[in-house]
Amino acid sequence: MLSPRIRAHGRAFAHIAEFHPELTALRRDLHAHPEIGFEEHYTARRVVEALKVCGVDEVHTGIGRTGVVAVIHGRQRTSGRMIGLRADMDALPMTEHNDFAWKSSRPGMMHGCGHDGHTAMLVGAARYLAETRQFDGTAVLIFQPGEEGFAGAKAMIEDGLFERFPVQSVYAMHNWPQMKPGTVGINPGPMMAAADRITIEVSGKGGHGAHPYLTVDPVLVSAHIITAVQSIVSRNVRAIDSAVISLCSMQAGDPGAFSVVPGKATLVGTVRTFNPDIQSLVERRLAEVCSGVAMGLGATAHVQYDRVYPATINSAPEARFAADVAQRLLGHEHVVRDMEPSMGAEDFSFMLQVKPGAYLRLGQGGEGSCMLHNSRYDFNDEVLPLGAALHAGLIEQGMPLSGATD
């Protein structure tokens, strides 16, 4: 049963709600069988099986290694329009600590970010669109592998995704536990930050811990670097801009060798930004600060800066359109059009660098809900029909039949 908290309008929502139990069963099966990036073989098979039962026109597999694409033609195809919808399929390399019947059956793997729910929602949209075909054009449903650090979107693009399926725009949504079920958030600009990986190698001179004056201690140098790099954001980046530098790991020496000063230390962390100019500034200043601090203490430091995911930037017309679709489904009071960006990252950004489109957040929790990437997280099945109906609305309203009404 759908909660009375979710009040959605239109035939798509009512139609999809009729097979809510089937979507829930699929979602829970995927949750019980999580697979990490580019290993989504079971997941892809289940998606293909479901799509064929839905009656889609075409199913393409192996795109970007384990990606799946479904094609559904509308009742009319006079517009020549083609719109893409994307859902990510992969899980996380983490141990689940839930105890319900559909908990992960695979040690060290868990659907801790809700990609099982995203996949099920897009399957739900596929079934509805194939059964009704109330649109003029072609819907392209993209089931993407490897979002969690594997750049699966980039892999699909490099494998010819948009050459084979030349969509005019593309949309994705992600569940958001900090928003209540029955709400949607979006904005016409940045939604997620760029995610960069930094590795700082500090080289000194090892020796005896009782005689540190004979060494160049890379642990001490690293400590000064950890403190110094925080000045980059506070003293180089304008307060109205956004940047985060987090050094999250330090490796040096042997824990069993308590009196040995090591010769090297390694720091690993991440940088998050929205603006490419700020991203370049941080990259440059990191090299300068780390080298300068190390040199001042008699050591050397080398910074490797890897740009992993670009920022996820919605194109304004598509963001406004998506918000209008959500508003028609939920009512204006349940759509946040100026959603605060997150410093998290998302590889849908690669698709938005090639095609105009928008990334939405779908509320599924509210106060006290378990956040993403938590070992006790679980997707809220209550919102499955809503997410599927929102996907369907993007297709039907983006490629309307002549004289169509909701």
What tens digit of pLDDT does each residue of 157-186 get?
Answer: 999 999 999 999 999 999 999 999 999 999
Q: Is there a catalytic annotation at residue 90?
A: yes
CA distance 217 to 403: 75
**Contact call for residues 177 and 369 (beta carbons, < 8 A):** yes
Q: Is the confidence at residue 63, as pLDDT, over 80?
A: yes
Phi, psi of 173 (to 5 degrees): -140, 155
- Catalytic pick from 35, 39, 40, 90? 90
Q: Are 196 and 307 within 8 A, CB to CB?
A: yes
Share of the chain above pLDDT 70, in %: 98
Please name which of 17, 145, 19 lies closest in space to residue 91, comparing C-alpha atoms.
145
CA–CA distance, 269 with 195 (Å, rounded to integer): 10
Whether the predicted pLDDT of 143 surpasses 80: yes
Helix (H) or strand (E) holding 26: helix 20-32
Strands 194-203 and 300-309: antiparallel
Check the CA dihedral 380-384-389-391 and report its sign: positive
The CA distance from 211 to 339, in Å, is 56
Provide mean pLDDT across the span 360-379: 92
User: Of 39, 116, 147, 148, which is the active-site residue?
Assistant: 147
User: How many Cβ atoms sit within 10 Å of the Cβ of residue 199?
Assistant: 14
Q: Is 147 labeled as catalytic in the residue annotation?
A: yes
What distance in Å separates the CA atoms of residue 319 and residue 323, rounded to the nearest whole number?
6
Statement: residue 1 has pLDDT above 50: no
247: pLDDT confidence band, cut at 50, 70 and 90? very high
Alpha-carbon distance values, 222 to 218, 247, 270, 272, 304 (Å): 6, 11, 16, 21, 15
The model's pTM is 0.94
Do 47 and 104 touch, CB atoms closer than 8 A? Answer: no
What is the Cα Rg of the chain in Å? 24
pLDDT above 90 coverage of the chain, percent: 95
